[in-house]
């Protein structure tokens, strides 16, 4: 009986902790180069893409990592809020008019439930 009560207690705490984390990011907007970008498609050149900076409008909410997907390549996990050299190597495989997806955006307070698409232009 004690084990059952303890298991229920742990499950409840885990569920409550996850709900609190999600509530901390539910009103947070993703900013790309300082502009709100929620489930949108941006048209950027390679040079603009290299300078991309992901932030949030939340107080003390910082991007900790995100995923990037280029068609024909495996998904890359990036740490921090800027593109790494590994992402730059992946971006070299992208052609003009390809759509690059940024998703799985995590912060120090939890996940932001949004994504952005970047269409590569000249």
Contact in structure between 45 and 17 (CB atoms under 8 Å): no
Query: Is the model's pLDDT at 39 over the cut of 80?
Result: yes
Say which residue the tokens 């390679």 belong to: 46
pLDDT at 19: 40
83 or 15, which is more confident = 83
Share of the chain above pLDDT 70, in %: 80
Give mean pLDDT, residues 87-100: 91
Q: What is the pLDDT of residue 14?
A: 39
pLDDT tens, residue by residue, 14-32: 343 344 344 556 788 999 9
Number of domain units in the chain: 1
Q: Are strands 99-107 and 63-70 parallel, antiparallel or unpaired?
A: antiparallel
Least confident span in 2-11, 33-42, 65-74: 2-11
Q: What is the CATH number of the domain that holds 74?
A: 2.60.40
DSSP 85: H
How high is the pLDDT of residue 63?
95
Contact between residue 64 and residue 93 where contact means Cβ atoms under 8 Å apart: no
Residue 89 C-alpha from the chain's centroid = 19
Range of the domain at 26: 2-120
């Amino acid at each position: 009986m004690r084990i059952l009560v303890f298991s229920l207690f742990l499950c409840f705490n885990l569920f409550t902790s996850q709900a609190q984390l999600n509530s901390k990011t539910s009103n947070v907007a993703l900013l790309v180069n300082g502009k709100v970008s929620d489930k949108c498609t941006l048209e950027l050149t390679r040079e603009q893409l290299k300078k991309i900076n992901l932030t949030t409008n939340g107080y003390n909410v910082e991007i900790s990592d995100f995923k990037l997907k280029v068609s024909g390549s495996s998904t890359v996990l990036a740490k921090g809020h800027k593109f790494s050299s590994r992402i730059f190597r992946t971006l070299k495989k992208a052609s003009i008019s390809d759509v690059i997806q940024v998703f799985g955006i995590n912060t120090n307070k939890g996940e932001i439930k949004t994504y952005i698409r970047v269409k590569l232009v000249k």
